[in-house]
Structure 1
């Protein structure tokens, strides 16, 4: 079984599958801009995207020696962030195109693409999962060992707890909520 996970060709094929499946899912984003979208198709895309993503992460994890588990966590979370960003950019470019064609008001277009949209939910789910996992993965690898500078007393423990809460709960939440707002701000400038 490890041979299957430790196969570079399979990892490359998995990467192609992830890109192709997600591209075809968002290719006709205009048709899917409805409440709920096609739930069965969304679930299939999630499964077909999730399994190859795990394969890529396992391949890199198995081939990086002592830091393999960190590489696995980082790779898997990074893939989810990238998939989420692909969907955000697809929504952004479709909204930009529609704003330039000026079929309806800018507020209606922004509401259509960045408020009441099936793809937006899918993008947010991927992006949110990826950001949280990325923060935990990077935190375990770099932040936790870097907190050795704190004194070894109750004040140092409280400072470490506050830093971890800010890093694990506040920062990811801020990034997750700020990203769609950045796209909306750029669309408002058009």
Structure 2
């Protein structure tokens, strides 16, 4: 079932409401470790979250809306984590050249994905079943923008910055998503890192 957009019935404006929505997403992820998404019921999600069915329907019209938002929030959290890490490298003046700086960030990204490999494998799989092209574009462009902000200290030309950010996202997303879709239990992360860096070396930064 492909959704035209993430349909959230009520956006959480207060902290308690946000906590409830987050609890529903976290409950879905916990259940996802036990069985596939299509086998998980809304009742099970609310039971694990400790809320009633009515509370679920205050925020979502169906389970697929919850899944789509969970995917989006997971990607968003990853982007924010990478930006924070890159900023810390710049503040520490650890790197003065783009190439080693970029390599370190990609290494950090892969380490984070390896540490949460199951959820990333599920994210890529569910993204294809649940997310519409509009949702997919939103997440993809968010990651491209993340790479732009990370590279900004080293690339002043705006057009070049856009192209580099897009190319890095193309390579990283393509390599990781296809790897985990084909083999969710993939364990040769060092080799994958080398392959990504080799692919990126063909671009002029």
In the superposition, the TM-score normalised over structure 1's length comes to: 0.39
- Structure with greater Cα Rg: 1
More helix by share: 1
In the superposition, the TM-score normalised over structure 2's length comes to: 0.37
